[in-house]
Amino acid sequence: MKQPVIAQIAQQLAPGGIETMVLDLQSGADNPEQVHIISLEGTETSLKDNWSRLQNVPRLHALNKPPGIQLSTIRQLADLLRSLNVDVVHTHHVGPMLYGGLAAKLAGCGHVHTEHDAWHLANLKRRILVGTFFHLLRPTVIADARLVAQSIQRYIPMFPTEVIMNGINTERFHPGDQNQARRHLGLPTDVPVIGCAARLTAVKSHDILLSAFARLPENTHLALAGGGELETSLRQQAASLGVSDRVHFLGVVGNMPEFFRAIDVFCLASQREGLPLSPLEAQACGRQVVMTDVGGCSEATAPDYGLLVPAGDIDSLSTALQRQLEEGCSDSARLSARAFVREHGDLKRMIAQYQGYYLHSLGRQGKPGEGCDA
């Protein structure tokens, strides 16, 4: 059976988990030439200037949508879908669902939508908006974690939701030489290093992480991968805590496997999450994790390997980081964590499951969750 042409639609392609997943859904596909990537905002040039990974991404389209509601973008997107002979649109988050779903209706495409978190549904206006468009557009709705699916079912009852756990390329993310990785990133080779890979935005709670880190032994260092609007204030906080010389702001890191190999413990102190990719990547590289117990973080943690703490609890976060640094990790535990990621969070498994739902959205043969032959 011929594979359908897919359009992955995101709000704006900037370094982040959802955007990384969109790129992986193209690069990891059996026939990547059948997958287009569409960014509602930005131009091809601006997107590539802001994220080096996009430089060699094929079949990339940017609509340069202005701020606010733009009805003309729906028509523009529908025309693009027709010109590309797209069979199925796959939207990520609310904005792309609205524009992509309406454009899919106009262009006669199937529609698969992934909800990457559900905390926003607690807002009544957002809940009414999303629920209305779910019932109007009738997409196949996929949640990236069981907790997200449960939240959708609680807030938007009587609308079926499936679960496909996010996946990573476990062939790319694997253990490697730590000292070499540290030298490439300019990190010290003779001290414990905690790492965090996330945009420097309020929801990721780097301020909580910095406060917890400041309580750790003075030989411990912190490496932050990612950029964002809070970098200046976080640098100021590090200075006020007296830890500036031990906090490394690395910006956007092009070689993320190298980042995870360089650190000893990965930490994510977010206030909210769906099912984050970064802890899967860290564990695939053999790194211990400490995360806040929000969203699908517990589902992304190998049993008996990572530690979960309450969001916003500086004491608990600092204690958990200290424990992971002191106890270390055996080779068997690292292998077990990597095996967990390969079984539950592998990119090929995720793509195969989505392929089945693409076919299902078109009414073709095959059960949801199963792929097809080219």
**Is 235 in the same domain as 150?**
no
Q: Are residues 192 and 306 in the same domain?
A: yes
Distance CA 288, CA 274 (A): 20
CA distances from 164 to 175, 183, 299, 351 (A): 26, 37, 12, 9
Residue 240 lies in a domain: yes
Q: Is residue 350 in some structural domain?
A: yes
> Domain span at residue 287?
178-344
Q: Is the pLDDT reported for residue 179 higher than 80?
A: yes
Q: What is the pLDDT of residue 160?
A: 85
For position 293, which CATH number holds? 3.40.50.2000
Q: Specify whether 52 is located in the same domain as 149.
A: yes
pLDDT digits (tens, 9 = 90+) for 35-86: 999 999 999 999 999 998 999 999 999 999 999 889 999 999 999 999 999 9
Domain count, the chain: 2
Which pLDDT value is given to residue 370? 52
Q: Which two three-digit tokens encode residue 371?
A: 């792929």
Residue 218 contacts residue 243 (beta carbons within 8 Å): no
33 and 146 share one domain: yes
Q: Is there a single domain that holds both residue 135 and residue 188?
A: no
Residue from 131, 119, 136, 122 nearest 161 by CA: 131
**Same domain (yes/no): 152, 218:** no
Q: At what angle do helices 347-361 and 17-27 cross, to 10 degrees?
A: 80
Whole-number pLDDT of residue 368: 55
On the question of pLDDT at 329 being above 80, the answer is: no
Q: Is there a single domain that holds both residue 60 and residue 203? A: no
CA 371, CA 19: separation in Å to the nearest integer?
23
22 and 141 belong to one structural domain: yes
Inside any domain, residue 370: no
Give the integer Cα–Cα distance in Å for 4 and 357. Answer: 11
Q: Is the dihedral of CA 150, 156, 159, 161 positive or negative?
A: negative
